[in-house]
């Protein structure tokens, strides 16, 4: 609409008679004012739409992080406001604190267990489900159903029903079938079979989501590629998987890997509920430790420092993900 109005004064420039120039000046002034007014109206409308979100993110995201930075350099025990600044002491304390560093180690160990198993299981299940013709939807639903379950509920079933240390536990019943004695799955430090409990519960809960990502990826691979490879003499199965399927699932694979690592990094629910009490020292991931520091000990200085260390680590992972997936690249 106002592109026409802009053209008008340009035309009048070619005939530079005095009165016209004046009228031109007035014109631009008026149109500038109109544009300004329109801009102001657009700004108002924009803030009507985006305002609530921006306000919320400011209060519940940006201000907390800034406040955490302040608290992380301060003493804040049993209080939410700093009582004396201590420089980098909180950070130094956290890295010297063997419970914190070992919680980072626990995360690494956990990631080492959970990432390859989830990757292999979700890819395998996607291939298997995708390869059958009948009841495909049924199997997809069954494998996807656990994603509706919470970590708390699954932890209850795993801890009290499947891997309970008593004779009545399901896992111990299976051991009895092989004439083995009952085993205390969760509280025995060595051999560390509690990892089996922690890994299987997460595997059960999340494998469906990753399977869906892989199935979506599989369905995007053009059928002609397989047909062409059969013509070239490739055998159905491992050869086509290695030459076509797997390379073309590159993006899905990277998504699954990195989403999985980031999710493992935030592990809290199942560790808190399965290893509750004294057993937490066997396997305590970073978030659980920070929860204990901040909520049990009410030490918000160290808690904030720990949270910021986690934040920096997770940003590094996210940037890595962006790099691998080629965000921000043009091609």
Partner 1 sequence: MATLVSQSMRPRPHKPKLTTGKVVSAILRYGTLIIMALFFLLPFYLMVRNGLATEMDISSPQWSFFPGSLHFENITELFSDPDVPFVDGMINSTLVAVLQTTGQILVCMLAGYGLARIPYRWSNTIFYSVLLTLMIPFAVIFVPVYVIVSSFQWVNTLQGLVVPGIFSGFTTFLFRQFFLSFPHELEEAGRVDGLGYWGIFWRIVVPNSGGIISALSVITFIAAWNAFLWPLAVGQDSSAYTIQVVISAFMNSQNVNMHELFLSTAIAILPLVVIFFILQRFIVEGYKQSGLKG
Q: Is 48 in the site for partner 1 (CB under 8 A)?
A: yes
Chain positions 64 to 83 lying near partner 1, rule: CB under 8 A, are 64-65, 67-68, 71, 80
The single residue among 4, 53, 78, 329 that binds partner 1, judged by CB under 8 A, is 53
Among 13, 99, 112, 156, binds partner 1 (CB under 8 A): 156
Distance CA 203, CA 49 (A): 40
Residue 275 is a binding residue for partner 1 (CB under 8 A): no
107 lies in the site for partner 1, by CB under 8 A: no
| 81-100 binders of partner 1 (CB under 8 A) | none
Q: Decide if residue 151 touches partner 1 (CB under 8 A).
A: yes
User: Does residue 141 bind partner 1 (CB under 8 A)?
Assistant: yes
Nearer to partner 1, 42 or 112 (CB): 42
Q: In whole angstroms, what is the distance from residue 211 CA to residue 139 CA? A: 11
Give whichever of 224 and 331 is closer to partner 1, judged by the CB atom. Answer: 224
**Contact (Cβ atoms closer than 8 angstroms) between residue 264 and residue 279:** no
Note whether 271 binds partner 1 by CB under 8 A: no
- The residue assigned the tokens 């030490």 is 299
Contacts with partner 1 in 208-237 (CB under 8 A)?
Answer: 209, 212-213, 216, 227, 230
Binding positions for partner 1, 285-304, rule CB under 8 A: 287, 290-291, 294-295, 300, 303-304
113: left (phi over 0), alpha (psi -120 to 50) or beta: alpha
Question: Exactly one of 50, 99, 108, 120 binds partner 1 (CB under 8 A); which one?
Answer: 50
Asked if 264 interacts with partner 1 (CB under 8 A), we say: no
Q: Does residue 149 interact with partner 1 by CB under 8 A?
A: yes
Stretch that binds partner 1, among 27-35, 84-92, 103-111, 148-156 (CB under 8 A): 148-156
Identity of the residue, 86 or 310, whose beta carbon is nearer to partner 1 in the bound complex: 310
């Amino acid at each position: 609409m106002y592109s026409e109005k802009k053209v008008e004064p340009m035309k009048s420039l070619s005939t530079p008679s005095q009165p016209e120039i004046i009228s031109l000046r007035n014109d631009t002034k008026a149109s500038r004012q109109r544009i300004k007014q329109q801009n102001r109206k657009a700004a108002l409308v924009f803030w009507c739409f985006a305002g609530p979100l921006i306000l919320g993110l400011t209060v519940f995201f940006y201000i907390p992080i800034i406040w955490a930075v302040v608290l992380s350099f301060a003493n804040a025990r049993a209080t939410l406001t700093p009582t004396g600044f201590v420089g980098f002491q909180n950070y130094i304390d956290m890295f010297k604190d063997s419970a914190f560093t070992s919680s980072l180690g626990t995360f690494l160990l956990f990631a080492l267990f959970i990432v390859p198993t989830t990757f292999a299981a979700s890819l395998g299940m996607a291939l298997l489900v995708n390869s059958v013709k009948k009841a495909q939807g049924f199997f997809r639903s069954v494998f996807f159903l656990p994603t509706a379950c919470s970590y708390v509920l699954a932890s209850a079933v795993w801890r009290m029903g499947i891997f309970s240390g008593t004779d009545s536990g399901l896992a111990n019943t299976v051991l009895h079938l092989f004439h083995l004695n009952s085993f205390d799955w969760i509280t025995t430090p060595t051999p560390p079979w509690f990892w089996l409990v922690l890994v299987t519960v997460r595997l059960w809960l999340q494998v469906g989501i990753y399977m869906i990502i892989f199935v979506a990826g599989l369905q995007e691979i053009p059928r002609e590629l397989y047909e062409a490879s059969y013509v070239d003499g490739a055998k159905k199965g491992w050869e086509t998987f290695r030459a076509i399927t797997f390379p073309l699932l590159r993006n899905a694979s990277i998504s699954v890997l990195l989403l999985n690592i980031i999710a493992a990094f935030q592990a809290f629910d199942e560790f808190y509920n399965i290893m509750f009490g004294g057993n937490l020292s066997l396997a305590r991931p970073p978030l659980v430790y920070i929860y204990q520091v901040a909520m049990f000990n009410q030490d918000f200085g160290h808690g904030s420092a720990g949270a910021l260390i986690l934040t920096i680590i997770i940003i590094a992972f996210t940037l890595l993900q962006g790099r691998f997936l080629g965000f921000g690249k043009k091609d």
